[in-house]
Amino acid sequence: MLIPDVNVLVDAWRPGSARHQSARQWLENASQSTELALPDAVLAGATRILTLRVRGLGFTVTSVLDEVAALLSAPGVRRVSSGPRHWAIFDSLCRELGATGNTIPDCYLAALAIERKATFVSRDRFFSTVPGLDWIDLPPTS
């Protein structure tokens, strides 16, 4: 099972991103051929970032939610939520890594991937420091 980070969806859905091509290709392949698990926090996070007016990205909430709906209807995709061990794993990661600010939601997603025995996919190198997390970085655009 693969769980993508918010940044993977943002890059895949934002044509102006330098990493758009590789993220889009990866997301299309993963959603068709593997078990791609999407936490609500990732879907909501991508929606939040892409619709921020200060970024001037020009996305409407409707256009982003249409992307989400299309992704959720792909054959290899399912939503995933936390289970009974999630909070304890999250607590442990936050304490061990000294998480603050922006690394708090990262620890939350990492704990979900650990609990679900999933591979977490992100371009954020922070995840390489998370103990017990199976993490992969996307290849750069070729």
Q: Is the pLDDT of residue 31 over 70?
A: yes
Q: Is the pLDDT of residue 21 over 60?
A: yes
Beta-bridge partner residues of 39: 80
* CATH numbers and ranges of domains, the chain: 2-136 (3.40.50.1010)
**Could you give the C-alpha distances from 138 to 23, 24, 96, 110, 127, in angstroms and in order?**
7, 11, 26, 16, 13
**pLDDT digit string, tens, across residues 70-124:** 999 999 999 999 999 999 999 999 999 999 999 999 999 999 999 999 999 999 9
- Known binding site: residues? 5, 106
- Known binding site for Mg(2+): residues? 5, 106
The answer to whether residues 17 and 121 touch, using CB atoms and an 8 Å cutoff, is no
Q: State residue 126's pLDDT score.
A: 95
Q: Is the pLDDT of residue 140 over 90?
A: no
Determine the straight-line distance between the first and last CA of the chain, rounded to whole angstroms: 25
Q: State residue 56's pLDDT score.
A: 65
What is the value of pTM for the model shown?
A: 0.92
Portion of the chain with pLDDT greater than 90, in percent: 86
For residue 128, the SS3 value is helix
